[in-house]
Amino acid sequence: MKISKITIVGVLSLSLISLELVWTRIFSAEFFYTFAFLILSLAIAGLGLGALSVRLFKSLNHLENLGTIFLLTGLSAILGPPFVFQLGLDFSVIFADVIMVGKLIFTLVILSSAFFFGGIALALIFKNNHKEIPRLYMGDLIGSGAGVFFVVILMNSIGTPMTVFVSALPVLILAFFLSTKWQKMIVLVSVIVLFFFGYFSEDILEVKREEKMPIIYKHWDAMSKIKIYDYGEKYRRINIDNAANMGVNRFDGNWDYPDSMKFGFHIVEYLIQKSDSSTFLSLGAGGGQDGYIYKDPRVVVISEDARAYVRRFTNKFDLIYSFSSNSFAALASGAFALAENYLYTTEAFIDYWNALSENGYMLMEHQAFMPRLVNEVIDALNQLGVDDIKSHFAVYNLKNMRRKMLLISRQPLSDKFFEEAWGNYPRQDFRYAYLLYPAPDSLENGLYNQMVIKGWQQMTDSASVDISPTDDNRPFIAQMGLWKNLDFHKMEKIAGYSDWLGFPLSQLIIAIILVVVIVLFIPLNLIPYLRKGEKLKVIPWLYFFVIGLAFMSIEIILIQKYTLFIGPSVYSIITILLTLLVCSGIGSRFARKIDNKIVFPAIMIWILLDIFIFKHLIYIFGDLPEFTRICITAVIITPLGFFMGLPFPKAALRVGSLVDWGFAVNGTASVLGSTFIVLIAFSFGLNFGLMVGLLLYLTAYLLISYKSAW
């Protein structure tokens, strides 16, 4: 059976991106996203190394080897994850245990092997068919786009663990049709192993940890891993991605009295009772504690992004309540290490304020983010032009719950309010809840009180965490780590949520990736210059490197940026990746027909439009239904995707059979781009990241325009 090379490239790319996404999902939930980002970023670098091998080793330069290469790709994809889970990786001691470092290196070798062999196959096909690059690259990109859709559908239908193995099936099918007879037998055995592992996948692909209570239910999909613990007759707990937790009380049979009322939260009761009727908005549903409340005709359940919903209303809600509406689960989901939500930004508080009635209140709780939330409220009220800002909010310490509570009021708060708010708990009673701002005399030098009085800028040096306010352009509220807290003597045991405590774990992991790429992978891509034979000139080498940086920089930023507009991060990932990849594939097909003078300016103009114009669409159309918002995003992204698909094949047509080297350089740069742009976004915001992407495409334009250097 003869299979077209475009189909071969498309199916291989479908498998590779499926592996990338499903591995990101499963390793993030089991090992926490910062470490998953480390593993997978370096593993995907194997794609570029595979392509480089085609340039360095002549023995690989035979198309008849494709069957064997696909078989090795499939076997690596099947066997890699189970081996990793058997290694006993413990990232909490990764910086203090030499053996654990060795296990990490072994993990990188195991997981990168599938991408390594896949890179060999792609480079081999590109090199031997370089005149057909526009069509082949189209197959690569459209196949990748189809893989995004394919893997999400699989995760939601057969579960994430099973999808880990099924993602290898397309490449094994290729291996079967392109292999010799004896290899076909190995392929068939591999498929049997695939489904055998898939059947036991939930047990195979799970970190063995000591559970506090019996697990009575587990579920995996593209959004989360759910575990339900049984705490006895009256209580259960839902765990999300081994990170976030939510309690569930057993229903007592009384439909008319919500179970949650048994655990009274006094300040909420006080605020509700201040008016005869109260329009109440809860950001986040209860975990089974609310009994009959959902059948009450006065209650409406809305399943969509909270920001998009709140923006529809002005002067609507008497009380907005957010208790444990936490981005911790979003962080654990591992959406390219940028996973956050937009509940906790300055613009979010502007939306909440506008949605409150004239005498309305808002309550927002969090165990770690409160310093930043307070400073965001101050910024928001300043932007709104509110008089006497300091009298419109208060901060409580809920001592027994180990949490802080932010109270915002449309009307100035009085001393009488503070005396009455907690019912039977006096203002000076520090056993349960007490004010951190406005603070009693004994706490007047505390961080919260001083931030309000002096401004957060004056308190940064003394604060142990990053207290700067976040906004929609820089929504990374969980990134509270500071480089000043990097102390190698305190790194014997590192928790996944160390950033909350001020340790710069995410930034450190990204820095490690950057160092490895710069010190190891980039020099490897220079080795062909030391060997005899045809060589890429310096300008083309730099060009392939720059467009690799640029493409990934734009892709990563857009995934995060449009999460605010679309809502759930998984939908944002699907929409952006699918649109970019498919449209880039279509654009690639026209590489011979569209001039560089159109391609690069079009990309740069679109980026400027996104920075200065498209951002307003988020607020203009934010109240439309979710599916409509997804469609609008796809329409907006389509022109950019089309033109971003052109720079690589245009250069590939110029360098001819040296395209394997260019592909290797491009792959290495892609890993570098996906990491360094994260650090830029953390520090300077998403729009600055887009400007970096614009400058990279401008540089690429200048490089490809220097015709004599090619």
Placement of tokens 């880039």 in the chain:
584
What residues form DSSP beta bridges with 180? none
Contact call for residues 396 and 356 (beta carbons, < 8 A): no
Give dist(CA 629, CA 13) in Å, integer: 28
Residues 524, 433 within the same domain: no
Give the pair of three-digit tokens for residue 475: 């929504």
Residues 549, 650 within the same domain: yes
CATH number for the domain spanning 392: value is 3.40.50
Query: How many CB atoms neighbour CB 529 within 10 A?
Result: 11
Domain encompassing residue 454: 264-332+346-469
Residue 259 lies in a domain: no
Residues 50, 132 within the same domain: yes
Give dist(CA 407, CA 420) in Å, integer: 14
Domain total in the chain:
2
Residue 59 lies in a domain: yes
Residues 328, 179 within the same domain: no
Residue 252 lies in a domain: no
φ/ψ of residue 4, rounded to 5: -65, 150
Q: pLDDT value at position 567?
A: 76
Greatest C-alpha distance within the chain: 86
φ/ψ of residue 508, rounded to 5: -65, -45
Is the pLDDT score of 388 beyond 50? yes
Query: How many CB atoms neighbour CB 98 within 10 A?
Result: 7
Residues 292, 418 within the same domain: yes
* Secondary structure of 623-657 in HEC code, one letter for each residue: CCCHHHHHHHHHHHHHHHHHHHCCHHHHHHHHHHH
251-298 pLDDT per residue, tens:
666 666 555 555 556 678 788 888 778 899 988 765 545 555 667 788
Residues 513, 465 within the same domain: no
600-609 pLDDT per residue, tens:
999 999 999 9
Give the pair of three-digit tokens for residue 476: 């990374």
φ/ψ of residue 636, rounded to 5: -65, -40
E-assigned strands of 557-613?
A: none
Give the pair of three-digit tokens for residue 143: 């196949």
Residues 152, 291 within the same domain: no
Q: What is the rounded average pLDDT of the residues 122-133?
A: 96
What residues form DSSP beta bridges with 474? 471
Is the pLDDT score of 677 beyond 60? yes
Residue 226 lies in a domain: no
Of 115, 49, 47, 46, the closest CA to residue 77 belongs to 115
For the chain, counts of helices (H) and of strands (E): 27, 10
Residues 39, 187 within the same domain: yes
Give dist(CA 190, CA 209) in Å, integer: 30
More confident residue, 1 or 618: 618
Residue 443 DSSP SS3: helix
DSSP symbol at 115: H
Is the pLDDT score of 36 beyond 80? no
CATH number for the domain spanning 114: value is 1.20.1250.20
Give the pair of three-digit tokens for residue 525: 């891509």
φ/ψ of residue 405, rounded to 5: -125, 130
Percentage of the chain lying above the pLDDT 70 cut: 92
Query: How many CB atoms neighbour CB 385 within 10 A?
Result: 7
- Residue ending a domain, among 469, 493, 510, is 469
φ/ψ of residue 228, rounded to 5: -115, 125
Mean per-residue pLDDT of the chain: 88
What residues form DSSP beta bridges with 434? 397
- Residue ending a domain, among 469, 492, 525, is 469
Residues 439, 529 within the same domain: no
320-373 pLDDT per residue, tens:
998 766 655 554 444 434 556 688 999 999 999 999 999 999 999 888 899 999
Q: What is the pTM of this model?
A: 0.92
Q: pLDDT value at position 334?
A: 44
Placement of tokens 């730099």 in the chain:
542
Task: Tell me the one-letter amino acid at 322.
Answer: S
| Residues contacting 220, CB < 8 A, separation 6+ | 155, 159, 160, 161, 202, 226
Residues 571, 689 within the same domain: yes
228-247 pLDDT per residue, tens:
888 887 778 888 888 777 77
Is the pLDDT score of 160 beyond 50? yes
| Residues contacting 309, CB < 8 A, separation 6+ | 302, 623
Residue 359 DSSP SS3: strand
Residue 172 lies in a domain: yes
Dihedral angle at the C-alpha atoms of 464, 466, 469, 470, nearest 10 degrees?
-150
Give dist(CA 181, CA 187) in Å, integer: 10
Q: What is the rounded average pLDDT of the residues 482-503?
A: 84
Give the pair of three-digit tokens for residue 426: 């006096």
Of 515, 522, 478, the closest CA to residue 498 belongs to 478
Q: What is the rounded average pLDDT of the residues 302-317?
A: 84
Q: pLDDT value at position 292?
A: 56
Q: What is the rounded average pLDDT of the residues 22-33?
A: 84
Q: pLDDT value at position 594?
A: 96
Q: What is the rounded average pLDDT of the residues 185-206?
A: 94
| Residues contacting 559, CB < 8 A, separation 6+ | 335, 336, 338, 569, 572, 573, 576, 577
Query: How many CB atoms neighbour CB 628 within 10 A?
Result: 10
Percentage of the chain lying above the pLDDT 90 cut: 59
Of 211, 294, 285, 232, the closest CA to residue 258 belongs to 294
| Residue 53 binned pLDDT confidence (cut-offs 50, 70, 90) | very high
Q: Which secondary structure element, helix H or strand E, spans residue 381, and what is its range? A: helix 370-384
Contact call for residues 629 and 566 (beta carbons, < 8 A): yes
Residue 210 lies in a domain: no
Q: pLDDT value at position 626?
A: 84
Residues 448, 521 within the same domain: no
- Residue ending a domain, among 451, 469, 487, is 469
Q: What percent of the chain is helix, strand and coil (3-state, nearest 5)?
A: 65, 10, 30
Residues 452, 518 within the same domain: no
Give dist(CA 522, CA 668) in Å, integer: 7
Residue 47 lies in a domain: yes
Q: What is the rounded average pLDDT of the residues 365-385?
A: 95
Residue 24 lies in a domain: yes
